[in-house]
């Protein structure tokens, strides 16, 4: 029985307790509901300015055969609303337990700012990471579905592809150049490169690190009939899946954005210019016995040659005579040499649809001394991409082409510019073939594939002049010589052998090119010559390389 004499304040206290309990219960229900709401993906909070919006799926990038090089996958980005978070430190520590890369101290500080309603926690989470965060049951979190760019080949063609940022915008390489087209979605962007050939090129550059140390390297393969770049690589490689891991050394694309003095691989260009101008015939001879003085400079060869009083242009290329190249350059003259090098794209930044390319460093004036040094590849610095295109006319009968990085819709519409006659192109390729058969390029031989080419070893310029202890070694090749189809260039920056002292192009770049061609030619549908002529020098009085006798051998 109720005590009628119970004090009034006690009756009110009981009612007040019940009221407080109801209020607390209602508040708890609201808070729990809100916590659950903001923790779920796609909730009302995603309507804030930073919420996801409907965007087209970025188009894939594929190689010439349709092999996938870059694609877009769904991902999730995690954000937080600090204004509804009770314990910022607890939330930060909980998230770090499933997202180990988070900085707990920094995240705690950002989540503690109650004046903010939105902060990013982490972009690009996987579905598994998203589920792990859900299971934590933390307040104030929400997800936004986004897109993440993925490169299935890892570092394969990494510099060429470039990468897109977390917002799907192209930042570097093809991703940047064709960003507008890719952002619209639709059909894949089909590049000219061949993944198999690209892999072979990168593998051979990587393999070279077993024999040499070098600061960097570049390699390029071009289809001479169209200018299509079938492979292009810069070492050290980069993985566009992890652009933040790039070192300063790896960040630069040496194939397109570095310039080098490349040395004697210019000699075939000097010879071609002189033949085309009518200032040289293949039968002309030169005395390369002694150094030659041009102005105040004394130009000499690194080593004496036998029978060097009657060198032909073939011998000058095959045995790499600076003295002989200078004499040819003198016949040609500075202006005609300059005009020819300009015609093959070596005096201006190339213009094409593709990754950016460095402008060349060219002589300020073209005087006799300039012509002398440029005739054998000193005093002018160009990108490997620009240089490899200068050899394309040798392989296609005389037409200069711009590099192609995207498969053309109409190959017949490719612009061509005649820079030499088919006869000149054929003659110089035959001379470069001798370089591989009997000259400085023997290590570039790939039996059955008739490699023709030229070595280049150039001392690197520095503040105190050219450094004899640092060089750039290169080998430029055309193959197969009897039916040219492809041009290859490999450049090594300051290659030093791990054993011995053989640091010229004959032992560095040439050997890489030879191994690469033997490996990649079948991938390029180049069939070997089964009855390849073995050419033996039988020049007059033992003169090397002026005429050849041939016999057949079965490979």
Q: Give the residue from 226, 249, 223 showing the smallest Cα distance to 238.
A: 249
Alpha-helical (H) ranges within 334-396 are 334-343, 368-374, 384-390, 392-396
> How would residue 248 be classed by pLDDT, with cut points 50, 70 and 90?
confident
Q: Tell whether the torsion through CA atoms of 197, 198, 199 and 202 is positive or negative.
A: positive
Cα torsion through 34, 40, 45, 46, rounded to 10: 180
pLDDT of residue 46: 32
In this structure, are 347 and 393 located in the same domain?
yes
Pairing state between β 548-554 and 531-537? antiparallel
Last residue of a domain, one of 190, 206, 228: 190
Q: Is a pLDDT exceeding 50 seen at residue 55?
A: yes
In this structure, are 379 and 339 located in the same domain?
yes
- Asked if residue 11 belongs to a domain, the reply is no
Across 139-160, average pLDDT: 93
Residue 431 sits in a domain of what CATH number? 3.40.710.10
Residue pLDDT, tens place only, 424-447: 999 999 999 999 999 999 999 999
Q: Yes or no: say if 343 and 424 are a contact pair by the CB < 8 Å rule.
A: no
In this structure, are 184 and 299 located in the same domain?
no
Which segment of 47-61, 196-210, 361-375 scores lowest on mean pLDDT? 47-61
pLDDT of residue 532: 57
In the chain, % of residues over pLDDT 90 = 73
**Cis bond leading into 64, ω under 30°?**
no
Last residue of a domain, one of 165, 190, 215: 190
- Asked if residue 457 belongs to a domain, the reply is yes
Task: State which H helix or E strand residue 88 sits in.
Answer: helix 88-98
Q: Any residues with CB less than 8 A from the CB of 249 and at least 6 apart, and which?
A: 215, 216, 236
Q: Give the residue from 236, 240, 205, 239 showing the smallest Cα distance to 220.
A: 205
pLDDT of residue 8: 39
Q: CA 418 to CA 400: how far, in whole Å?
A: 6
Q: CA 9 to CA 7: how far, in whole Å?
A: 6
pLDDT of residue 222: 98
In this structure, are 217 and 149 located in the same domain?
no
In this structure, are 471 and 522 located in the same domain?
yes
Q: Is a pLDDT exceeding 90 seen at residue 123?
A: no
Catalytic member of 77, 79, 195, 264 = 264
Tokens representing residue 480 in the block: 């197969």
264 has catalytic annotation: yes
Residue 97 sits in a domain of what CATH number? 3.90.1310.10
pLDDT of residue 552: 30
In this structure, are 537 and 422 located in the same domain?
yes
- Asked if residue 550 belongs to a domain, the reply is yes
In this structure, are 149 and 283 located in the same domain?
no
In this structure, are 317 and 423 located in the same domain?
yes
Across 103-127, average pLDDT: 93
Tokens representing residue 46 in the block: 């995603």
> How would residue 372 be classed by pLDDT, with cut points 50, 70 and 90?
very high
- Asked if residue 36 belongs to a domain, the reply is no
- Asked if residue 446 belongs to a domain, the reply is yes
- Asked if residue 488 belongs to a domain, the reply is yes
User: pTM for the complete prediction?
Assistant: 0.83
In this structure, are 71 and 120 located in the same domain?
yes
b vs e for 425-448, b when ≥16 Cβ sit within 10 Å of the residue's Cβ? bbbbbbbbbbbbbbbbbebbbbeb
Q: Which residue has the higher pLDDT, 30 or 362?
A: 362
Domain count, the chain: 2
In this structure, are 143 and 213 located in the same domain?
no
Residue pLDDT, tens place only, 484-504: 999 999 999 999 998 877 789
> How would residue 11 be classed by pLDDT, with cut points 50, 70 and 90?
very low
Q: CA 477 to CA 382: how far, in whole Å?
A: 17
Q: Any residues with CB less than 8 A from the CB of 202 and at least 6 apart, and which?
A: 155, 156, 219, 233, 235, 237
- Asked if residue 421 belongs to a domain, the reply is yes
Last residue of a domain, one of 150, 172, 190: 190
pLDDT of residue 531: 65
Return the ∠ at Cα 480 (arms to 474 and 515), rounded to 5°: 50
Q: CA 231 to CA 520: how far, in whole Å?
A: 10
**Residue 463, number of CB atoms within 10 A of its CB:** 5
- Asked if residue 26 belongs to a domain, the reply is no
Arithmetic mean of pLDDT over the chain:
86
> How would residue 198 be classed by pLDDT, with cut points 50, 70 and 90?
very high
In this structure, are 167 and 304 located in the same domain?
no
What is the longest distance spanned by two Cα atoms in the chain? 142
In this structure, are 186 and 330 located in the same domain?
no
Tokens representing residue 494 in the block: 């300051």
Tokens representing residue 212 in the block: 């040499």
Across 537-542, average pLDDT: 36
Q: Is a pLDDT exceeding 50 seen at residue 227?
A: yes
Q: Is 379 exposed, middle or buried (0-12, 13-18, 19+ CB in 10 A)?
A: middle
Range of the domain at 171: 61-190
pLDDT of residue 203: 98
Q: Is 321 exposed, middle or buried (0-12, 13-18, 19+ CB in 10 A)?
A: buried
């Amino acid at each position: 029985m109720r005590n009628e004499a119970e004090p009034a304040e006690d009756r009110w206290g009981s009612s007040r307790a019940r009221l407080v309990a109801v209020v607390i219960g209602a508040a708890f229900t609201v808070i729990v509901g809100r916590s659950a709401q903001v923790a779920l993906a796609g909730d009302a909070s995603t309507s804030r300015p930073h919420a996801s919006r409907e965007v087209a799926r970025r188009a894939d990038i594929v190689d010439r055969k349709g092999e996938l090089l870059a694609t877009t996958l769904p991902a999730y980005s995690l954000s937080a609303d600090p204004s509804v978070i009770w314990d910022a430190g607890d939330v930060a520590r909980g998230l770090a337990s499933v997202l180990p890369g988070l900085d707990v101290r920094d995240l705690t500080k950002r989540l503690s700012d109650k004046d903010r309603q939105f902060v990013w926690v982490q972009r690009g989470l996987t579905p598994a990471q998203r589920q792990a965060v859900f299971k934590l049951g933390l307040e104030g979190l929400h997800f936004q579905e986004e897109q993440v760019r993925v490169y299935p080949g890892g570092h394969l063609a990494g510099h060429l592809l470039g990468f897109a940022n977390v917002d799907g915008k192209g930042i570097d390489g093809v991703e940047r150049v064709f960003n507008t087209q890719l952002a619209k979605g639709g059909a894949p962007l089909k590049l000219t490169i061949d993944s198999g050939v690209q892999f072979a090129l990168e593998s051979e550059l990587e393999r070279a690190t077993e024999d040499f140390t070098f600061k960097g390297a570049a390699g390029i393969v071009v289809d001479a009939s169209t200018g299509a770049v079938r492979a292009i690589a810069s070492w050290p490689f980069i993985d566009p899946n992890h652009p933040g891991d790039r070192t300063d050394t790896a960040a630069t694309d040496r194939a397109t954005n570095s310039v080098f003095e490349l040395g004697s691989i210019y000699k075939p260009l000097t010879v071609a210019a002189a033949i085309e101008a009518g200032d040289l015939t293949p039968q002309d001879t030169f005395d390369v016995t002694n150094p030659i003085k041009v102005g105040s400079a004394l130009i000499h060869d690194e080593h004496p040659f036998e029978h060097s009083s009657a060198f032909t242009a073939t011998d000058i290329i095959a045995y790499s005579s600076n003295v002989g190249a200078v004499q040819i350059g003198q016949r040609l003259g500075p202006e005609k040499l300059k005009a020819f090098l300009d015609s093959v794209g070596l005096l201006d930044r190339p213009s094409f649809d593709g990754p950016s390319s460095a402008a060349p460093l060219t002589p300020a004036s073209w005087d006799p001394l300039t012509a002398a040094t440029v005739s054998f590849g000193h005093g002018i610095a160009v990108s490997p991409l620009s240089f490899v295109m200068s050899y394309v006319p040798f392989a296609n009968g005389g037409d200069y082409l711009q590099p192609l990085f995207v498969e053309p819709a109409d190959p017949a519409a490719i612009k061509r510019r005649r820079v030499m006659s088919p006869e000149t192109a054929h003659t110089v390729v035959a001379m470069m073939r001798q370089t591989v058969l009997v000259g400085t390029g023997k290590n570039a031989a790939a039996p059955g594939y008739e490699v023709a080419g030229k070595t280049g070893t150039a001392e690197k310029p520095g503040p105190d002049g050219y450094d004899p202890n640092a060089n750039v070694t290169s080998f430029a090749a055309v193959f197969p010589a009897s039916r040219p189809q492809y041009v290859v260039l490999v450049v090594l920056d300051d290659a030093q052998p791990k054993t011995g002292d053989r640091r010229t192009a004959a032992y560095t770049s040439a050997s890489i090119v030879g191994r690469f061609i033997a490996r990649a030619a079948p991938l390029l549908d180049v069939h070997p010559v089964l009855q390849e002529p073995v050419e033996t020098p039988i020049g007059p009085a033992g003169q090397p390389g002026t005429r050849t006798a041939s016999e057949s051998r079965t490979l």
